[in-house]
């Protein structure tokens, strides 16, 4: 794809004088810039910052969990209630306050408008509102973790455990409302992305010339638009059951706890694709850039994402193989689930084909992308295993499942987040990251997370259930290994914070396109850091 | 006529003898569950695979798991080899000028069709396992399993009044030979070689009735009954755990099964009817957030 933005140096020149003039408003104050921001880049930065905070809290919780599980009969976590509050908050934080804000709110906000040649998002104030709903939600989820006994139903929030009888405290209400806030935030964000991508592409930027990251965000936005309202409905019914005496999920009043599971997973399964599709988008860009080749099979990649998004909506009950669905339903949901392996395979093989014949440079973002592809394939393979309803009867809710979804999320989505971070941080900050420390960060994380999660496959096969603060002594060995790996991953986070420090204290400046010939999308035509208003004139794509 | 009297006499003698045996057992002589102590199927340190299959269902799960895992290991290995090859052949030192190849219809069709064929190969045996697992018809007996916070309750549908609760042995009351976090005060006793159906439900929140060595797992859901079944092939002790988060003692309600030959099982029923029927009243679930050891005390 080629494009004619006006000469990038013009943009730089304009930037130099618009920076103090900024349409005559002067440099905005801190409060005005960060609390009232309507600029997609500033909001993106806010999202990424909140992802760092959410990820840090969620990560610290996982360190506590692994410390507790390091030895049997441990008492680092003092009670079952505390343990359940920690596991619940860990799950919700990592999903709603780490992966989603990093990939969708953060990178999506920063780069979707830039890649399609739009001056900003379609609804800048809505964009601001989405972020602040999420920030308020963060306060609520932390209250849900800390007030009283905390929210102890697990991130899946299955009733009756979190109804008024078994979780009487107000903490559970805070956690439920935090999901409402995060949900509204995502919903508004999704509407904004759809409007932006459908209406604000620069002249010549047809849908099928649009970079894959924008496609991934577009599909994700549609998934959010259709899935979040279902979650909102389920959560509202739960709040009604807890506080207003309804019995949607109360068997004593004619309700059914399994209904909640259906509603939750009708949201929850698309949710996993909401987390992984933007990651697919990032990986496509990184792989193409560092192979110095255009993406192989662009159309196939787009259709694969759309297919994954569609099929992702009709497989939800594979999370419920042991909760009362008939044999024939088990057959259907197994087959439908397995179908997803095909478009996912298309993605993986297309990435490899993109590298094929390329001139691959193993810079830090590429290392994370390669790590992503390989580990995602492992997670996908165990996914195919779990999709077998007959096998799920043995593996459901045990550590094999924990290993599986951490391979696709903790090693998949998170690796993509870091790939995107190292890929774009120069464009966002204007300063390079230290390459050596970037590689140290990659290798310590890679070894750490594999050491953490691979042994969990064995624990699961041996029959260790999830959400246990204490376990039979026979499981001690692999749990010890897993905890050691977790601490190594935890230490690698310190390397990441050191890298952040180096980036923001760096005096070095970067060129517009610091990756060279492989980086061909529109964000590489503007200066680094991208100016406050990316495009003063509309770029034309040929 | 004489012969008939002879038979009657023999039968009477047998009845008396059986009564004596039953009495002797209540008095604490030969334990009908002794046969289960000869073989213990519990998790082992550094275990890396499923438990040894204790039922045909788990044997089939084990087989299918190997079948699917080998196929998927092949896929992962293939992708891994492909990636290493690409890194060696097409790194920037080995290949300075990148190609601009972006399409190849044949290869794109191949990577659509080959995975689809692999899935078809997996789906075949996988579906028959689903129907096999679901076929709980014609059981020899049915046990109603009820999950409570935080203990299991077993009701033998065919034995009048036989209904008892099963609590984990707290860590500080373990006897030699008991397994921490797996042994219970009153195990579920089942005969070997017979098809046993479980009607699984819950008295309060969700629980998970999970028997890894037998391949059984179902949620215990209040207000509805879910069924599963097993057929234990070898006398022995088998373990399971609650596998759906159920509150603060989720990890403290294991399942212990003593599988014994039919004769021992029938002998045990007599003992159990004497011992368990009057203590069948389960504690009130609302008052249940008491320390677990108090429960074990109360149920002694």
Distance (Å, rounded) from C-alpha B188 to C-alpha B154?
7
Distance (Å, rounded) from C-alpha A217 to C-alpha A283?
13
- What's the average model confidence in pLDDT over B202-214? 96
- Chain B residues within 8 A of A388 when measuring between CB atoms: 64, 68, 122, 126, 129
Distance (Å, rounded) from C-alpha B237 to C-alpha B184?
11
Local structure of B241: helix, strand or coil: strand
Contact B184, B254 (CB under 8 A): yes
- B188's CB contacts (< 8 A; 6+ apart) are B143, B145, B152, B154, B166, B255, B256, B257, B258
Q: What is the pLDDT of residue A18?
A: 44
Subunit contact A469:B76, Cβ cutoff 8 A: no
- What's the average model confidence in pLDDT over A290-317? 96
Contact A373, B115 (CB under 8 A): no
- What's the average model confidence in pLDDT over B13-27? 48
Mean residue pLDDT of chain B comes to 85
- What's the average model confidence in pLDDT over B283-293? 38
The phi, psi pair for B147, rounded to 5°, reads -85, 135
Query: Mutation test of the interface with chain B: which of A89, A164, A472, A482, choosing the one with the most B Cβ atoms within 10 A?
Result: A472
- What's the average model confidence in pLDDT over B189-206? 95
Distance (Å, rounded) from C-alpha A53 to C-alpha A488?
20
Nearest CA-CA distance, residue B280 and chain A, Å:
23
Residue B242's DSSP bridge partners are B209
Contact A494, A444 (CB under 8 A): no
- B63's CB contacts (< 8 A; 6+ apart) are none
Cα Rg of chain A, angstroms: 23
Subunit contact B206:A160, Cβ cutoff 8 A: yes
CA proximity to B292, closest of B262, B237, B249: B249
Q: What is the pLDDT of residues B87-127, one digit of tens each?
A: 999 999 999 999 988 889 999 999 999 999 999 999 999 99
**Which of A533 and A401 is assigned the larger pLDDT?**
A401
Distance (Å, rounded) from C-alpha B186 to C-alpha B116?
49
Q: How confident is the model at residue A263 (pLDDT cuts 50, 70, 90)?
A: very high
CA proximity to A169, closest of A264, A57, A262, A82: A82
Contact A430, B253 (CB under 8 A): no
Q: How confident is the model at residue A7 (pLDDT cuts 50, 70, 90)?
A: very low
CA proximity to A272, closest of A106, A422, A367, A407: A407
For every residue of B250-293, DSSP letters joined together read GGG--EEEEEE-HHHHHHHHHHHHHHHSTT--PPPGGG--S-HH
Nearest CA-CA distance, residue A412 and chain B, Å:
15
Q: How confident is the model at residue B30 (pLDDT cuts 50, 70, 90)?
A: confident
CA separation, residue A487 to residues A318, A400, A492 (Å): 32, 20, 9
Local structure of A355: helix, strand or coil: helix
**Backbone φ/ψ region at A150: left (φ over 0), alpha (ψ -120 to 50), beta:** left
Query: Is pLDDT above 50 for B2?
Result: yes
Q: Structure pTM?
A: 0.90
**Which of B172 and B292 is assigned the larger pLDDT?**
B172
Query: Is pLDDT above 80 for A14?
Result: no
Q: What is the pLDDT of residue A53?
A: 97
Local structure of A81: helix, strand or coil: helix
Query: Is pLDDT above 90 for B297?
Result: no
Distance (Å, rounded) from C-alpha B152 to C-alpha B165?
6
Contact A317, A262 (CB under 8 A): yes
Local structure of A354: helix, strand or coil: helix
Supply the DSSP symbol for A236.
Answer: H
For strands B195-202 and B141-148, give the pairing. Answer: parallel
- Chain A residues within 8 A of B116 when measuring between CB atoms: 342
For strands B255-260 and B188-191, give the pairing. Answer: parallel
- B138's CB contacts (< 8 A; 6+ apart) are B195
Q: Inter-axis angle of helices A399-408 and A257-291, to 10 degrees?
A: 40
The minimal CB distance from A293 to the residues B47, B98, B213 is found for B98
Q: Which two tokens stand for residue A261?
A: 């599971």
Query: Mutation test of the interface with chain A: which of B130, B201, B226, B290, choosing the one with the most A Cβ atoms within 10 A?
Result: B130
Cα Rg of chain B, angstroms: 27
Query: Is pLDDT above 90 for A538?
Result: no
Q: Which two tokens stand for residue A499?
A: 């890298």
Subunit contact A360:B127, Cβ cutoff 8 A: no
For every residue of B78-127, DSSP letters joined together read HHHHHHHHHHHHSBTTT--S-------HHHHHHHHHHHHHHHHHHHHHHH
- What's the average model confidence in pLDDT over A290-294? 95
CA separation, residue B235 to residues A514, B36, B55, B238, B254 (Å): 70, 5, 11, 9, 19
Helix extents (H) in A70-148: 80-94, 100, 109-116, 124-146
What share of chain A in percent tops pLDDT 70?
95
Q: Which two tokens stand for residue A249?
A: 């999920």
b or e along A310-339 (b: 16 or more beta carbons within 10 Å of the residue's beta carbon)? bbbbbbbbbbbbbbbbeeebbbbbbbbbbb
Q: Is the dihedral of CA A522, A524, A530, A535 positive or negative?
A: negative
Tokens 């509805």 identify what position? B224
**Which of A129 and B279 is assigned the larger pLDDT?**
A129
The angle at the Cα of B27, spanning B22 to B29, to the nearest 5 degrees, equals: 80
Burial of A537 (0-12, 13-18, 19+ CB in 10 A): exposed
Give me the active site residues of A, please. 90, 120, 155, 185-186, 269, 271, 273, 284, 318-319, 344, 347, 466
Query: Is pLDDT above 80 for A15?
Result: no
Q: What is the pLDDT of residues A199-227, one digit of tens each?
A: 999 999 999 999 999 999 999 999 999 99
Q: Check whether the bond before A529 is cis (ω within 30° of 0).
A: yes
> What percent helix, strand, coil does chain B show, rounded to 5?
40, 20, 35
Nearest CA-CA distance, residue A168 and chain B, Å:
12
Residue A530 Cα to chain centre, angstroms: 24
Q: Inter-axis angle of helices A399-408 and A435-462, to 10 degrees?
A: 160
- Chain A residues within 8 A of B50 when measuring between CB atoms: 394, 461-463
Q: What is the pLDDT of residue B7?
A: 60
Distance (Å, rounded) from C-alpha A274 to C-alpha B141?
47
Query: Is pLDDT above 60 for A4?
Result: no
The phi, psi pair for B137, rounded to 5°, reads -75, 155
- What's the average model confidence in pLDDT over A73-77? 93
- Chain A residues within 8 A of B241 when measuring between CB atoms: 463, 465, 468
B window 132-171, beta carbon within 8 A of A: 132-134, 149, 171
Residue B200's DSSP bridge partners are B145, B226
Q: Is B225 on the interface with A (CB under 8 A)?
A: no
Subunit contact A361:B215, Cβ cutoff 8 A: no
Q: What is the pLDDT of residues A330-382, one digit of tens each?
A: 999 999 999 999 999 999 999 999 999 999 999 999 999 999 999 999 999 99
Mean residue pLDDT of chain A comes to 92
- Chain B residues within 8 A of A342 when measuring between CB atoms: 112, 115-116, 119
Count residue pairs from A and B with Cβ separation < 8 A.
Answer: 293
Q: What is the pLDDT of residues B122-180, one digit of tens each?
A: 999 999 999 999 999 999 999 999 999 999 999 999 888 888 999 999 999 999 999 99
Which H or E element spans position A51?
helix A40-69
CA proximity to A416, closest of A282, A302, A309, A284: A282
Distance (Å, rounded) from C-alpha A374 to C-alpha A365?
14
Distance (Å, rounded) from C-alpha A19 to C-alpha A472?
63
Subunit contact B95:A342, Cβ cutoff 8 A: no
Nearest CA-CA distance, residue A13 and chain B, Å:
34
Distance (Å, rounded) from C-alpha A311 to C-alpha A309?
6
Query: Is pLDDT above 50 for B285?
Result: no
Query: Is pLDDT above 50 for A252?
Result: yes
Distance (Å, rounded) from C-alpha A102 to C-alpha B24?
71
The minimal CB distance from B111 to the residues A338, A349, A471 is found for A349
Tokens 């059951």 identify what position? A241
Q: Is B65 on the interface with A (CB under 8 A)?
A: yes
Supply the DSSP symbol for A101.
Answer: I
Distance (Å, rounded) from C-alpha A475 to C-alpha A398?
12
Contact A272, A337 (CB under 8 A): no
Q: What is the pLDDT of residue B265?
A: 94
b or e along A50-68 (b: 16 or more beta carbons within 10 Å of the residue's beta carbon)? bbbbbbebbbebbebbbbb
CA separation, residue B212 to residues A164, A381, A395 (Å): 33, 22, 8
Tokens 């215990």 identify what position? B220
């Amino acid at each position: 794809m080629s494009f004619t933005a006006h000469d990038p140096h013009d943009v730089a020149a304009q930037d130099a004088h618009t920076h103090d003039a900024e349409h005559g408003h002067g440099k905005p104050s801190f409060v005005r810039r960060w609390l009232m921001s309507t600029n997609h880049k500033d909001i993106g930065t806010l999202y990424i910052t909140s992802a760092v905070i959410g990820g840090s809290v969620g990560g610290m919780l996982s360190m506590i969990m692994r410390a507790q599980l390091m030895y049997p009969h441990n008492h680092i976590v003092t009670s079952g209630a505390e343990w359940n509050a920690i596991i619940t908050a860990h799950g919700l934080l990592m999903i709603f306050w780490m992966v989603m804000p990093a990939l969708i709110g953060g990178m999506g906000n920063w780069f979707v408008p830039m890649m399609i040649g739009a001056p900003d998002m379609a609804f800048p104030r809505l964009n601001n509102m989405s972020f602040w709903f999420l920030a308020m939600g963060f306060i609520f989820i932390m209250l849900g973790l800390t007030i009283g006994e905390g929210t102890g139903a697990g991130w899946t929030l299955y009733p009756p455990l979190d109804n008024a009888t078994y979780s009487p405290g107000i903490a559970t209400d805070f956690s439920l409302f935090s999901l409402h806030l995060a949900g509204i935030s995502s919903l508004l964000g999704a509407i904004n992305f759809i409007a932006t991508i459908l209406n604000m592409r620069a002249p010549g930027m047809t849908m099928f010339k649009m970079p894959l990251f924008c496609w991934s965000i577009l599909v994700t936005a549609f998934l959010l638009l259709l899935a979040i309202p279902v979650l909102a409905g389920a959560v509202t019914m739960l709040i009604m059951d807890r506080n207003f005496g309804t019995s949607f999920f109360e068997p004593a009043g004619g309700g059914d706890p399994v209904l909640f599971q259906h509603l939750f997973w009708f949201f929850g399964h698309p949710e996993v694709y909401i987390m992984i599709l933007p990651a697919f988008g990032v990986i496509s860009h990184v792989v193409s850039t560092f192979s110095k080749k255009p993406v192989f099979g662009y159309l196939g990649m787009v259709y694969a994402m759309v297919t994954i998004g569609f099929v992702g909506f009709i497989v939800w009950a594979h999370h419920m193989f042991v909760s009362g669905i008939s044999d024939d339903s088990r057959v259907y949901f197994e087959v439908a689930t397995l179908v997803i392996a095909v478009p996912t395979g298309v993605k993986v093989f297309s990435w490899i084909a993109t590298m094929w014949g390329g001139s691959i440079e193993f810079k830090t973002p590429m290392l994370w992308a390669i790590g992503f592809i390989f580990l995602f394939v492992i997670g996908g393979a165990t996914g195919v295993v779990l999709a077998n309803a007959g096998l799920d009867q043995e593996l459901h809710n045990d550590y094999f499942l924990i290993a599986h979804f951490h391979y696709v999320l903790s090693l998949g989505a998170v690796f993509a987040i870091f790939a995107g971070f190292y890929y774009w941080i120069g464009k966002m900050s204007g300063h390079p990251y230290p390459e050596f420390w970037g590689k140290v960060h990659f290798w310590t994380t890679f070894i750490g997370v594999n050491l953490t999660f691979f042994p969990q496959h064995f624990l699961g096969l041996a029959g260790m259930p999830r959400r246990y603060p204490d376990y039979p002594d026979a499981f001690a060995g692999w749990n010890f290994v897993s905890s050691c790996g977790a601490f190594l991953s935890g230490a690698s986070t310190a390397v990441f914070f050191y890298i952040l420090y180096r980036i923001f204290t760096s005096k070095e400046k970067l060129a517009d396109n610091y990756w060279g010939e492989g980086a061909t999308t529109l964000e590489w035509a503007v200066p680094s850091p991208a100016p406050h208003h990316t495009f003063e004139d509309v770029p034309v794509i040929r | 006529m004489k012969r008939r009297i002879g038979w009657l006499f023999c039968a009477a003698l047998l009845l008396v003898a059986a009564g004596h045996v039953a009495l002797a057992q209540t008095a604490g002589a030969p334990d009908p569950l002794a046969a289960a102590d000869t073989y213990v199927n519990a998790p082992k340190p550094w275990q890396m695979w499923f438990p040894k299959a204790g039922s045909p269902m788990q044997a089939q799960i084990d087989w299918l798991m190997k079948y699917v895992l080998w196929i998927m290991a092949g896929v992962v290995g293939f992708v891994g080899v492909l990636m290493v090859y690409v890194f060696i052949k097409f790194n920037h030192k080995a290949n300075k000028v990148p190609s601009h190849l972006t399409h190849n219809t044949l290869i794109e069709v191949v990577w659509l069709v080959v995975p689809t064929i692999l899935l078809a190969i997996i789906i075949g045996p996988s579906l028959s396992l689903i129907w096999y697992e679901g076929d709980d018809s014609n059981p020899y007996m049915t046990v109603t399993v009820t999950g409570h916070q935080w203990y299991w309750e077993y009701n033998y549908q065919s034995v009048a009044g036989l209904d008892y609760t099963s609590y984990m042995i707290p860590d500080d009351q373990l006897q030699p030979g008991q397994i921490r976090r797996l042994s219970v005060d009153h195990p579920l006793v089942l005969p070997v070689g017979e098809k046993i159906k479980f009607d699984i439900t819950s008295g309060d929140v969700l629980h998970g009735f999970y028997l890894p060595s037998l391949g059984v797992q179902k949620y215990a859901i209040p207000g509805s009954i879910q069924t599963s079944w097993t057929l234990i092939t070898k006398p022995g002790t088998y373990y399971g755990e609650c596998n759906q988060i159920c509150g603060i003692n989720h990890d403290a309600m294991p399942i212990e099964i003593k599988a014994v030959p039919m004769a021992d099982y029938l002998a045990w029923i007599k003992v159990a009817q004497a011992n368990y029927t009057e203590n069948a009243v389960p504690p009130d679930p609302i008052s249940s957030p008491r320390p677990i050891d108090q429960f074990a005390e109360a149920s002694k």
